[in-house]
Amino acid sequence: MPNKKLILLVVGFLFVMDSFGQCAMCKAAVEANLAAGDDIGAGLNGGILYLMSMPYIAVFSFALFYYLQKRKEQTA
């Protein structure tokens, strides 16, 4: 059963990256800026998604390390 949960968690992380991670104010400012011909803020959505994913990656890494350590202790 834990393997199914782990697979579901990994698949969920893979599909989260397709979402848009901008607040309404940031999105409106970037769209207005791009409509005016400037290219400042073109990578804002990617940056927000990158910053948003870091805590999840850190927690996942810690959980994976903890799981592997516990499994190693049980087999020894």
pLDDT digits (tens, 9 = 90+) for 15-36: 665 555 556 777 777 778 778 8
Asked whether the predicted pLDDT for residue 12 surpasses 90, the reply is no
State residue 60's pLDDT score: 94
Band the pLDDT of 70: cuts 50, 70, 90: very high
Higher pLDDT residue, 57 or 76?
57
* Residue linked to tokens 């999105």: 27
**In angstroms, rounded to a whole number, what is the distance separating the alpha carbons of residues 18 and 12?**
11
Cα angle for residues 12, 13, 18 (degrees, 5° grid): 95
pLDDT band of residue 42 (cuts 50, 70, 90) is low
Which residues, including other chains, have CB under 8 Å from residue 30's CB and lie 6 or more apart?
Answer: 22, 41, 42, 44, 45
